[in-house]
């Protein structure tokens, strides 16, 4: 009897703990719903560095404002990992001009709860080349941003949007970084590395890249009767790759039919019935914006 009484008592106590925990979680959710994004970040010690950064970049009022924002919020641990990578002591070592595009790269101008997010590119509020930087989102296994950053807590619902907690600070990507962030461009990345063009394409630019997918490269390898990039020399790759690069940040809305000069000769652009280059390579996706240029995806490798 005493043993049964003890067991029943433990069960009852566990029930009280569970009920109390649920009530606290509900209360926390209600409190969050009454806060703006900036207010919620200030209320959570895990975001103290993010709050410092927002204050230094004069973005507190923006995230206290009306509207529906989505914020991918890095924790203190994420910021400290960035500081270690950069070899700096903290937020004080970064200027407002440096912080602003970084922080805005974590913000979408619309509310996107986890149930609304699909794999693809999203426009952030971070300005670049007259447009805004693109963020790569993959939901095939959890939610990943730019291939290496994980959403660890989703759907913190606040008064002016939603917060998703992330484990790494996102940095504005160059055109090379955007290619690295997308597995569909892994062969293109191999080619750029072998041709020693990484530093060039990480430069100021701006560049417009017509980027062939892995499937496009595999089709080329079949046509040439080779197994892959390893069978091509840097000297062979350079003229091919530079034939895919146009000077300037040319968005899809700015593309015009006719001849366009690349870094290695002229290509012929047609906009109807479907956008194509040189009569056969289709433009299948557009406007992946980077800090130093823009990428348009094509389904066939262009040969000079």
Residue 5 in this model has a pLDDT that exceeds 90: no
Residue-wise pLDDT tens digits, 143-183: 999 999 999 999 999 999 999 999 999 999 999 999 999 99
Q: 113: burial class by Cβ within 10 Å (0-12, 13-18, 19+)?
A: middle
How far out from the chain centre does Cα 14 lie?
A: 43
Q: Walk me through the domains of the chain, giving residue ranges and CATH numbers.
A: 34-166 (2.30.180.10), 175-298 (2.30.180.10)
Pairing of strands 131-138, 120-128: antiparallel
Q: How far apart are the C-alpha atoms of 15 and 256, rounded to whole Å?
A: 68
Residue-wise pLDDT tens digits, 219-234: 999 999 999 999 999 9
């Amino acid at each position: 009897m005493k043993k049964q009484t003890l067991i029943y008592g433990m069960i009852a106590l566990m029930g009280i703990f569970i009920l109390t925990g649920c009530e606290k979680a509900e209360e926390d959710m209600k409190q969050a719903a009454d806060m703006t994004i900036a207010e919620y970040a200030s209320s959570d010690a895990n975001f103290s560095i993010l709050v410092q950064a927002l204050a230094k970049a004069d973005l507190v009022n923006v995230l206290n404002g009306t509207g529906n924002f989505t914020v991918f919020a890095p924790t203190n641990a994420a910021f400290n990992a960035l500081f270690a990578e950069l070899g700096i002591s903290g937020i004080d070592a970064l200027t407002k001009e440096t912080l602003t595009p970084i922080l805005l790269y974590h913000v979408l101008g619309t509310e996107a709860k986890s149930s609304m997010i699909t794999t693809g590119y999203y426009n952030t509020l971070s300005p670049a080349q007259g447009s805004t930087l693109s963020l790569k989102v993959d939901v095939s296994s959890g939610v990943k941003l730019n291939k290496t950053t994980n959403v660890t807590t989703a759907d913190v619902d606040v008064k002016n949007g939603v917060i998703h907690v992330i484990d790494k600070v996102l940095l504005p990507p160059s055109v090379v970084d955007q290619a690295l962030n997308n597995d569909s461009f892994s062969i293109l990345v191999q080619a750029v590395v072998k041709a020693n063009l990484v530093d060039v394409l990480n430069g100021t630019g701006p560049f417009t890249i017509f980027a062939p997918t892995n499937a496009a490269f595999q089709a080329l390898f079949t046509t040439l009767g080779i197994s892959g990039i390893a069978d091509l020399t840097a000297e062979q790759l350079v003229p091919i790759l530079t034939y895919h690069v146009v000077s300037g940040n040319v968005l899809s809305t700015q593309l015009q039919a006719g001849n366009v000069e690349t870094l290695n000769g002229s290509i012929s652009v047609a906009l109807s019935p479907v956008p194509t280059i040189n009569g056969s390579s289709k433009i299948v996706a557009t406007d992946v914006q980077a800090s130093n240029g823009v990428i348009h995806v094509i389904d066939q490798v262009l040969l000079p």
